Amino acid sequence: MSAATAPAPAATGRGARLLALLPARYRKQALPVAVTALLLLGSWQLAVAVFDIPSFVLPTPTTIVTAFFDDVGTIMAAFHVTVTAVLLGLLLGAVAGVAVSLLLSRFASVSAPVLSAAVLLNCAPIVALAPIFNNWFGVTNVMSKAGVAAVMVFFPVLVNTTRGLLQVTPLHLEIMESLAARPRQVAFGVRFPNALPYVFNALKLGSTLAVIGVIVSEYFGGPAQALGVYIASQAALPRFDYAWAGIFVSGALGLLMFGAVTLLERLLMPWHASLHEESD
Amino acid sequence: MGEPAIISVRDVHKVFNGHTDRAVTALQDINLDIGPGEFVSLLGPSGCGKSTLLRVLADLTSPSQGEVTVNGKTPRAARADRDYGMVFQQAGLFDWRSVQRNVELPLQVAGAPKDQRRAKALEMLELVRLGEFAKHFPWQLSGGMQQRVAIARALSADPSILFMDEPLGALDEMNRERLQGELLRIWTDVRTTVVFVTHSISEAVFLSSRVVVMSARPGRIAASIDVDLPYPRVAETRTTPEFFAKVKEVRQVLHAAESEQAPA
Ligand SMILES: Nc1ncnc2c1ncn2[C@@H]1O[C@H](COP(=O)(O)OP(=O)(O)O)[C@@H](O)[C@H]1O
Ligand SMILES: [Mg+2]
């Protein structure tokens, strides 16, 4: 479907093809976003030079890039460790959230109080648990980081998925009833597909939450190579340009995760309303 | 009708929120027989119980009192046997299913094998003249096209009865008249019994072999009027004196029924 309706941009190559898979609203904004980013970086560079800001307060983007390439091996190894924890946390949180939600939706009477409790718990700063998870799993164990991320991902996935399972169009239920459909057929035919966009919304939020959870947890200690550990230790040395290089890579990781979830959403739900803008 | 009724309603009452101070008598003393192959419209003002009566026939709600048989069975058994197909005011298509898979739904729920489902769905889409849209998704179709898909879906499991609750109510006048013509053509093709809810007098007269006029508060059957205009009825039928006369007759009965209960 998507291939037929979405006109591919003229550019070729892998990057362009990936870009073509993104929803139109992201694709259309790619250029303005890139220009804005460049302008911001340019004025940053200029401001540091003009106001003669010392590099321990704020290094210039070019210094940061230089630091990145100087230490690229270490940073990318750290990236690898951190991305593993993020993916594991996202996966665990998502699976747990969906599983509990499926259980809850079968018992409508308990789902309301449990959901309210989940919303309340979600207001707590879950990253505060990081030292506890370090204690439980050991500071170098990937689970001490992924665990925090999983808990952060769990709540939005639980709340959103349950909404998606319960907030079904009454007409759809009525049609299934008129067809004498069995409860299992209603679940697979109506509730699950209806919940899918809700799940993806939660996963988009969760993908950035998971990055925050893992990086902040790593500030409290972690394996020798990890982005959070790298940022904290470079800042302590103090080598702020290297710390900033680590921060930039963490930012890129957040973007990457969000993009990956958006891409998955598009591949799995070619029908979804928010992806239709090409038609106009 | 000399033939045995395919739908029979005896002394049906329906009270919503009975035993509370918000009790609403939606249906009172309903008696109705519908023969095989009839196209019967339930016509009446908003809130007179048309949808409720249709939902009682379809076993989507149960009567507070009275007897209903559909195809000689209880409505529950008829629903379980998928004796009827249903079309609502909103198409109610499933966004995540292609047009073809939407039409397949009743067959899928009934457990029909895949290739049979496919063949039947394509046949039904041809019937509603949407064959080339099988692979499209609902959001790519106009409101009128979506409603034709809903009709194809309702007919795909070969039901002997079609229940329709203001199926053209959400369409603009042009589309509405076109689909009325389409519906008659489809009905001539498949020969199901149709029970059609509407509050449009001309729509009821154009489509039906019989118009059942209902009055409100409480919902009752005021009259049953045979429409003896010959089929096939086409666009020109709407301009014949016979058509106008029938519309006038139905309108008079409808207004008489309304003014009768107005002083109350
Ligand atoms: N589920 C319900 N609960 C309470 N009252 C209802 C319900 N459904 C319908 N009614 C009432 O029954 C009456 C008939 O409604 P309905 O059958 O929908 O009328 P129509 O389809 O002719 O517009 C109305 O007064 C309506 O408010
Ligand atoms: Mg109604």
Chain A residues in contact with B139 (beta carbon < 8 A): 271, 273, 276, 279
Q: Three-state SS across A223-273?
A: CCCCHHHHHHHHHHCCCHHHHHHHHHHHHHHHHHHHHHHHHHHHHHCCCCH
Cβ neighbours for A249, distance < 8 A, ≥ 6 positions apart: A68, A75, A78, A79, A227
Mean predicted lDDT score pLDDT of chain A = 87
Nearest CA to ligand 1 atom 27: B47
- A71-278 topology per CATH: MetI-like fold (1.10.3720)
The beta-carbon neighbor of A179 closest among B82, B94, B137 is: B82
Q: Which helix H or strand E contains B25, and what residues bound it?
A: strand B24-34
Q: Where are the domains of chain A?
A: 24-52, 71-278
Chain B residues in contact with A279 (beta carbon < 8 A): 139-140
Q: Taking Cα atoms as reference points, which of B227, B65, B136, B43 lies closest to residue B54?
A: B43
d(CA B71, CA B178): 31
For the sheet with B193-198, list strands across it. Answer: B84-87, B161-165, B193-198, B39-43, B210-215, B220-226
Looking at residue A19, its pLDDT comes to 66
Looking at residue B204, its pLDDT comes to 97
Chain A residues in contact with B95 (beta carbon < 8 A): 271-273
- DSSP notation for A79-113: HHHHHHHHHHHHHHHHHHHHHHHHHHHH-HHHHHH
Question: Ligand 2 mean position to A234 CA, how many Å?
Answer: 70
CA-angle at A265, arms to A262 and A266, nearest 5°: 90
Residue of A nearest to B88 (CA): A171
- ipTM attached to this prediction: 0.93
Mean predicted lDDT score pLDDT of chain B = 93
Question: Ligand 1 mean position to B50 CA, how many Å?
Answer: 8
Give A58→chain B minimum CA distance, Å. 50
Is residue A279 very low, low, confident or very high in pLDDT (cuts 50, 70, 90)?
very low
d(CA B212, CA B210): 7
pLDDT in tens, B161-197: 999 999 999 999 998 999 999 999 999 998 999 999 9
- Ligand 1 site residues, Cβ closer than 6 angstroms: B 16-17, 24, 26, 44, 46-52, 219
pLDDT surpasses 70 at A13: no
Q: Taking Cα atoms as reference points, which of B165, B218, B258 lies closest to residue B16?
A: B218
**Do residues A111 and A166 touch, judged by C-beta distance below 8 A?**
yes
pLDDT surpasses 60 at A8: no
Is residue A268 very low, low, confident or very high in pLDDT (cuts 50, 70, 90)?
confident
Write the CA distances from B142 to A175, B91, B130, B136, B137, integer angstroms: 21, 11, 12, 12, 11
pLDDT surpasses 70 at B227: yes
Q: The whole model's pTM is what?
A: 0.84
Residue A64 CA, chain-centre distance (Å), reads 25
pLDDT surpasses 70 at B95: yes
Looking at residue A273, its pLDDT comes to 56
Q: Which helix H or strand E contains A203, and what residues bound it?
A: helix A192-219
pLDDT surpasses 70 at B98: yes
The beta-carbon neighbor of B60 closest among A5, A177, A270 is: A177
Is residue B4 very low, low, confident or very high in pLDDT (cuts 50, 70, 90)?
confident
Question: What is the number of the ligand closest to the CA of B45?
Answer: 1
